[in-house]
């Protein structure tokens, strides 16, 4: 009888261990998949940029340096190694800021603003920016769940044995935290 109890206890312990390990693996895979979703949306945005730049060039004599900066940042984003998430998001945030400047151009060029092609590109870029924001939230939520499991007892023991490490959250750049200045003075 004692042997049966020992075997039963061992089976339960092994079962709990397997469940904890599989939970950690699933969360790690989910965090990788959620990063992949961010990467897909960044690539989608990068694919739309040449069309936007071309459309804007056709309608305006907008400052060439802004168009060059958009193109430069797009190229830089494509050249960041896939595993350097922090650098990829840093360049992406810079690109977002430069795109905002480019979007403001439409206010000065009514023909551009009325262009169906420009409107479609703006809508697609806006949707893509929203998807990037959602994907960042999903990534951070998944990372939070994984990090919590890595720190929580008893799964922290399993995590340490199998070399699971915490993942960094995606951070909002300080420049994006500043309140925009709105002025109604002309």
Predicted confidence (pLDDT) per residue in 123-172, tens digit = 888 888 889 889 999 999 999 999 999 999 999 999 999 999 999 888 76
Determine the average pLDDT of the residues in 12-32.
Answer: 95
Nearby residues of 117 by Cβ (< 8 Å), 6 or more positions away: 51, 55
pLDDT of 76-85, one tens digit each? 888 888 888 8
* Residue 135 near residue 41, CB atoms below 8 Å: yes
Tokens of 184: 């109604």
User: Is residue 105's pLDDT more than 70?
Assistant: no
Cα angle: 84, vertex 127, 59; to 5 degrees: 100
Residue 63, CB half-sphere, CA atoms under 13 Å: how many?
A: 11
* Residue 41 near residue 132, CB atoms below 8 Å: yes
**pTM recorded for the entire structure:** 0.71
* Residue 161 near residue 25, CB atoms below 8 Å: no
* Residue 66 near residue 102, CB atoms below 8 Å: yes
User: What is the crossing angle of helices 2-59 and 85-108, to 10°?
Assistant: 30
């Amino acid at each position: 009888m004692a042997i049966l109890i020992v075997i039963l206890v061992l089976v339960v312990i092994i079962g709990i261990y397997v469940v904890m390990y599989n939970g950690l693996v699933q969360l790690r895979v989910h965090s990788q998949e959620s990063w992949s979703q961010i990467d897909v949306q960044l690539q989608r945005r990068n694919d739309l940029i040449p069309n936007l730049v071309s459309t804007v060039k056709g309608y305006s004599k907008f400052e060439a340096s802004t168009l060059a900066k958009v193109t430069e940042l797009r190229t830089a984003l494509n050249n960041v190694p896939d595993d350097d998430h922090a650098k990829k998001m840093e360049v992406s945030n810079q690109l977002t800021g430069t795109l905002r400047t480019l979007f403001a151009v439409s206010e000065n060029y009514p023909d551009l603003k009325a262009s169906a092609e420009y409107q479609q590109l703006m809508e697609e870029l806006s949707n893509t920016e929203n998807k990037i924001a959602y994907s960042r939230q999903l990534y951070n939520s998944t990372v939070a769940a994984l990090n919590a499991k890595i720190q929580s007892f008893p799964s922290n023991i399993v995590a340490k044995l199998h070399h699971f490490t915490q993942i960094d959250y995606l951070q909002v750049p300080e420049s994006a935290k500043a309140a925009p200045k709105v002025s109604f003075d002309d």
